[in-house]
Amino acid sequence: MIEEMIDNHPMIHNTEVKIDEEAIEITGEATVKKHFITASVEFLIELYPIRANDRSLIMKVEKVEPVNVEYLNQEIFNQPPYLTYDNGMITLNLNAWERMDNIPLKIRSYELKHNHILINVGY
């Protein structure tokens, strides 16, 4: 789902999301326009989940290559209602997902495992 949201951005193409036990790694290509020049730039982004808050998962943007520029991060990651970006932190709002909208539970814990984010919910 994260991959689909980012890939829907008009500047972003060929995204791939890899999830291991510690981090979420997003790679892809961004189309950059500067004056009259257009170029395709490969990027790498590492996200580290920090905590769950009610029905949201909060992640820290740890690494952005080739450049870590706030306005670009804001442009890519601030996609309400699913994702919001503020000062190096991304909030994944599970209320925005159809599958989670009807479940009246809060996130109790989460785990990154085998290219999935496993979320345990409860009252």
pLDDT tens-digit map of 82-119: 889 999 999 988 888 777 667 777 888 888 887 888 88
Segments forming the whole domain that contains residue 46: 2-122
Q: What are phi and psi of 76, to 5 degrees?
A: -80, -45
What's the length of the chain?
Answer: 123
Whether residue 47 is predicted with pLDDT greater than 90 in this model: the reply is yes
**pTM of the full structure:** 0.78
Window from 1-10, 20-29, 30-39, 77-86 with minimum mean pLDDT: 1-10
> Residue 4 — pLDDT band, cuts 50, 70, 90?
low
Average pLDDT over residues 20-40: 87
Domains in the chain, number: 1
Amino acid at 114: H
Residue 110: both structure tokens together: 């989460």
Whether residue 122 is predicted with pLDDT greater than 80 in this model: the reply is no
Residue 16: both structure tokens together: 């791939």
